[in-house]
């Protein structure tokens, strides 16, 4: 609790600083030669105010009208069905590769909206330190020519890279995290800004943001002689028909801190959840302020077929009282909630091995069906709170346990 009280002091300043560049943060490795494919680890870029641009990029996958009643998964997916979304693809050859995982920042607010999020199959949002969150976006069934702003890796990312056997694009890392990455079994799949990754990872005007083009990763793997073959991604089940049970809920509130909180509103017309993000620091639910989040690459609203809230233990491995370096092992089982089709279901998350894709189980052990489409994973601490409000909406609040 000592670290929590100290951290709160820093939250007042979060809207004025670049995420994870606070003076109390551990030193991040820069300009260090990598023993694997990347050649140099660069410092995180400055974050000037962005200029709005729009590049239309229509999706290439939609639920088929003849979606089978039994659904797709959790194993034996047809060749043309994306095992991470349950969507049938017009061109299934795009699945003959590894997923691409990209780290994307969420603070400062001046850097929103992001580029490319609407094209990801799965997005993990998780707490990093001092009240902030970042995204780990998994791209597989669709490419995106511009994904940005790219930021640094954290220990949680090991879970995502191992589960989806992906290529990993990131900006930099704290020293100890960096050395764990380059000594991992996936070290040759790390991609940072360097001469080797030019064209895949790039800077763009007028704000000098760091971005990535997922469509060029395959060429990179061929040049670097990296295995980029299709991987076993079994584990998720998709059904168009919502399962029985669940609790009606029009909105899902997820509060990480006074600086980062979001709301997901179910839109019956689109049968999806639209994301609304914080616009100011907030002392509590009564003074929260939101705006709809869009994808700056195509001006589409950020929406999801499924919003999943996951409870998992976080361990602070840095003894300094003003520093948070969290290790989060998304391994085993635990409590989770799935929002789909305007209902919230209490389920169990399951990931039995490091190579397992995260899946969800009913009380009887059967696999819970997600709705075909994009899924957002909201990662909270083990003892975070869940409240069903008087209006029927669910509110999830992160509670520090370190």
**Entry pTM:** 0.87
- Helices and strands counted in the chain (H then E): 4, 30
**Is it true that domain 2-397 has CATH number 3.40.630.30?**
no
Q: pLDDT at position 36, please? A: 42
Query: Going by C-beta distance under 8 Å and a sequence separation of 6 or more, which residues neighbour residue 65?
Result: none
What is the full per-residue pLDDT of the chain (402 aa) written as tens digits? 445 444 444 444 444 433 334 333 455 554 333 544 343 343 444 444 334 344 444 445 555 468 999 999 999 999 999 999 999 999 999 999 999 999 999 999 999 999 999 999 999 999 999 999 999 999 999 999 999 999 999 999 999 999 999 999 999 999 999 999 999 999 999 999 999 999 999 999 878 999 999 999 999 999 999 999 999 999 999 999 999 999 999 999 999 999 999 999 999 999 999 999 999 999 999 999 999 999 999 999 999 999 999 999 999 999 998 899 999 999 999 999 999 999 999 999 999 999 999 999 999 999 999 999 999 999 999 999 999 999 999 999 999 988
The domain limits of the chain are 2-397
Give CA–CA dist 256/14, Å, rounded: 13
Burial class (CB in 10 A: 0-12, 13-18, 19+), 207: middle
> 375-381 and 306-312 as β-strands: parallel, antiparallel, unpaired?
parallel
């Amino acid at each position: 609790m000592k670290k929590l009280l100290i951290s709160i002091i820093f939250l007042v300043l979060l809207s004025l600083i670049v995420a994870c560049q606070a003076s109390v943060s551990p030193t991040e490795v820069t300009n260090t030669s990598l023993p694997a494919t990347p050649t140099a680890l660069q410092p995180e870029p400055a974050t000037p105010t962005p200029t709005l641009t729009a590049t239309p990029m229509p999706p290439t996958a939609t639920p088929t009208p003849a979606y089978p009643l039994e659904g797709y998964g959790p194993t034996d997916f047809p060749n043309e069905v994306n095992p991470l979304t349950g969507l049938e693809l017009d061109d299934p050859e795009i699945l003959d590769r590894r997923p691409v995982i990209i780290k994307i920042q969420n603070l400062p607010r001046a850097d929103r909206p992001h580029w490319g999020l609407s094209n990801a199959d799965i997005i993990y949002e998780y707490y990093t330190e001092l009240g902030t969150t970042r995204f780990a976006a998994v791209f597989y069934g669709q490419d995106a020519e511009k994904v940005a702003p790219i930021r640094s890796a954290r220990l949680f990312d090991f879970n995502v890279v191992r589960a989806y056997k992906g290529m990993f694009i990131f900006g930099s890392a704290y020293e100890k995290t960096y050395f764990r990455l380059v000594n991992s079994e996936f070290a040759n799949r790390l991609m940072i800004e360097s001469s080797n990754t030019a064209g895949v990872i790039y800077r763009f005007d007028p704000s000098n943001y760091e971005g990535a083009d997922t469509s060029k990763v395959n060429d990179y793997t061929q040049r670097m002689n990296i295995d980029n073959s299709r991987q076993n991604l079994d584990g998720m089940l998709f059904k168009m028909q919502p399962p029985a049970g669940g609790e009606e809920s029009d909105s899902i509130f997820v509060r990480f801190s006074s600086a980062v909180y979001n709301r997901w509103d179910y839109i019956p017309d689109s049968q999806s959840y639209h994301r609304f993000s914080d616009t100011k620091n907030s002392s509590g639910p009564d003074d929260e302020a939101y705006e709809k989040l869009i994808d700056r690459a195509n001006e589409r609203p950020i929406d999801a077929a499924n919003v999943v809230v996951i409870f998992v233990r976080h361990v602070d491995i840095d003894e300094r009282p003003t520093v948070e370096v969290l290790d989060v092992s998304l391994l085993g089982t635990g409590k989770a909630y799935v929002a789909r089709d305007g209902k919230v279901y209490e389920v169990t998350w399951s990931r039995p091995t490091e190579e397992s894709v995260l899946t969800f189980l009913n009380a009887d052990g059967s696999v819970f069906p997600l709705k075909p489409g994009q899924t957002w994973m909201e990662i909270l601490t083990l003892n975070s709170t869940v409240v069903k409000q008087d209006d029927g909406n669910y509110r999830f609040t992160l509670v520090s346990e370190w």
